[in-house]
Amino acid sequence: MHKYPRVFLTSLSVAICTIALFLCSCATLTGPSFQVRVQQLKDAHVAFIEHYTCVGGKPATWDQASFDSEVAKITQQFTDAEAAESKAVPAHKTFIKNSADLFQRDAALVRKKHCLSPSFAANKKKQLQQNYDLMLKQTPN
Amino acid sequence: MSKLQDALDQIKDPTVADAKTQFEQLINEGKAASEAFIKSSSEQLEQWTIDVSNGQMSQDEFDNLVSSQAILAKNFVASQALAAQERAEKLTIKTAELAATKIVPLLLIAL
């Protein structure tokens, strides 16, 4: 038998509580931040599509510098989000990498056409919703 | 008659009659699937084909949607059990490829 059972049990309880609190804090720090990052990427990507949708069948005035700056800014968001992901969850990194690839394809299309048809924009927004929401729903809060 | 059939009827080339039938069957099979991803992908692909047939989307735009969907579908297929992967690939990636290579180019010529 243990000589001081109460002290032993108290120490054990404190240790268990400390580990539990540590695990909870980890979950709080990694879970939501990934979700927030994915939501921010989704918002930026959808806003980009909306920005370059043809209005009344005509392209808005084309500003190459503004376009390049916007693409660079969103590309950086994807790079930062990928870098922020730990190697412990490779699926998260792969998801962000694939989503960045989707964005680059859309940026290339806008660069070529200068504006997107309203039909394409509506279809693309559905596709982006399918992409980002799939990951957002899979990730627990 | 469905909107998709209306769209496919614009293609008169008899050499792609089998491809048209196969595409329609794959779309219907996908729309009836229990997996939300496959169902949604088939519904979207059907809508894209209809939009192209109505002149509301260009070939570039259609190709962008198809190539992007292939990236999404690869993730989905990989997440499926091994036995279900072949069917998932057929109803998502292969159906989109069939549309992009055999259906939509002729649909654009028929417009």
Q: Per-residue pLDDT averaged across B43-50, rounded?
A: 97
For chain A, say whether B59 makes contact (Cβ under 8 Å): no
Neighbour tally for B3: CB within 10 Å? 13
Instruction: List CB contacts (< 8 A) between A120 and chain B.
Output: 51, 57-58, 61, 64-65
Is residue B25 less than 8 Å (CB to CB) from chain A?
A: no
Q: What is the CA angle A50-A52-A55, rounded to 5? A: 85
| pLDDT one-digit tens code per residue, A49-66 | 999 999 876 766 889 999
How far apart CA A31 and CA A27 sit, in angstroms, is 6
Q: Rounded distance, CA B79 to CA B92, Å?
A: 14
Q: Which residue of A54, A109, A114 is the best one to mutate when testing the B interface, meaning the one whose CB has the most B CBs within 10 A?
A: A109
Quick check: B72 contacting A, CB < 8 Å?
A: yes
Task: Say how far apart CA A32 and CA A16 lie, in whole Å.
Answer: 24
Are A113 and B60 within 8 A, CB to CB? Answer: yes
Please give the residue of chain A at the shortest CA–CA distance from B38: A130
Mean pLDDT of chain B: 94
* HSE-CB for B7 with a 13 A CA cutoff: 26
CA distance A139 to chain B (A): 15
* Domain residue spans of chain B: 3-8+15-110
Give strand pairing partners of A116: A53
pLDDT band, residue A24 (cuts 50/70/90):
very low
Question: Which letter does DSSP use for residue B103 in this model?
Answer: I
Contacts of A70 (CB under 8 A, 6+ apart): A48, A51
Domain boundaries, chain A: 31-138
The DSSP element (H or E) to which A122 belongs, if any, is: helix A118-138
